A and B are shown apart, each in its own frame.
Chain A
Amino acid sequence: MTPGAPDLDQTLAALADPHRRRAVEVLRRGPKRAGDLAEALALSAPAMSRHLRTLRRSGLVEEAGDPFDARVRIYRLRAEPMADLKIWLEETERMWSDQLLAFRQHLERSREA
């Protein structure tokens, strides 16, 4: 198991929920206030706040202050977990390529036998 794996599991778990996936989609276009996100997703403030907490814990999203209004919290995407996911998917692809090569070798051997 690689040291990065538990974080990646959290990333995948956070993305398992359609509302949270949608929130990530919206945040791709730029940072947003929690209220604007809730509106975009048609969610109540408490529901949005729960999803944002999960996204923050997974490291997908981070919170920052609004430079113009200290009372307002701004949410934006963090880059690292997504890059981990990309690397993970690339490694999974390599794993299946290896498996198919092993499978072909097995068939070649059994045909000769």
Chain B
Amino acid sequence: MSSKIIVALRVPASPARAFEAFTQEIGLWWRPSPIFPFTPRSPGVMAFEPGRGGRLTETLAGGKVFEIGRIRVWAPGERLVFGWRQATFTPDQDTEVEIRFEAVGEETRVTVEHRGWDSVPAEHVARHDFPDAIFLRRHGEWWQVLVASLRDVV
């Protein structure tokens, strides 16, 4: 399995407009994830500070500002790269998100690449040394736990 996540979608806008909306209007369109809150007090309001070295932040209800990451590449209409940390990450832990904007006719393909997790093919490792029946049973148990925890947050 790959250590990075890639998701792409076509949106009805020019690359310049898509970049502008992605960065300057993120507070309007971002859907807070109940599964991955940035901090225990999340959700708050997301915002980008424009330009390289600026920050992606979440401002919590009490006014506190949590820095999700610094902007590493700011190329309007083309590319955006920023750091991504949740409050529970350890200090040496950091992941990176790259957003690419490519014109496709009148529209723009927006690609999200979230990388930096590890370089381990987890699927292979998970099966290591386990007969299939045991693997399947254990995997079933993990899903039960996951579903139960989802029930708590949804």
Contact, CB under 8 Å: A28 / B90: no
CA distance A84 to B149 in the complex (A): 13
A16-B93, A103-B11, A111-B12 in contact; A86/B29 too (CB < 8 A)? Answer: no
Which B residues are in CB contact (< 8 Å) with A45? Answer: none
Total chain B interface residues with beta-carbon distance under 8 A: 56
A100 adjacent to chain B (CB < 8 Å): yes
Partner of B30, one of A9, A15, A79, A102: A102
Within 1-47 of A, Cβ neighbours of B (below 8 Å) are at 1-6, 9, 12-13, 15-17, 21, 24-25, 27-28, 30-31
CA distance A56 to B41 in the complex (A): 31
Distance to closest chain B CB from A8 (angstroms): 9
Distance to closest chain B CB from A97 (angstroms): 5
Contact, CB under 8 Å: B5 / A82: no
Contact, CB under 8 Å: B149 / A2: yes
Partner of A21, one of B10, B120, B130: B120
Which A residues are in CB contact (< 8 Å) with B10? Answer: 104
Distance to closest chain B CB from A84 (angstroms): 7
Distance to closest chain B CB from A87 (angstroms): 6
User: Which A residues form the contact surface with B (CB < 8 A)?
Assistant: 1-6, 9, 12-13, 15-17, 21, 24-25, 27-28, 30-31, 76-77, 79-80, 82-87, 89, 91-93, 95-108, 110-111
Known contacts A1-B153, A77-B129, A92-B36; can you find 10 more A-B pairs with CB under 8 A? A1-B37, A2-B150, A4-B149, A9-B93, A12-B117, A25-B120, A95-B33, A100-B112, A103-B22, A110-B21
Question: Which 4 residue pairs spanning A and B have beta carbons closest together?
Answer: A106-B29, A15-B118, A100-B9, A2-B149
User: Which B residues form the contact surface with A (CB < 8 A)?
Assistant: 1, 5, 7-13, 17-18, 21-22, 25, 28-31, 33, 35-37, 40, 88-90, 92-93, 110, 112, 114, 117-130, 135, 138-139, 142-143, 145-146, 149-150, 152-153
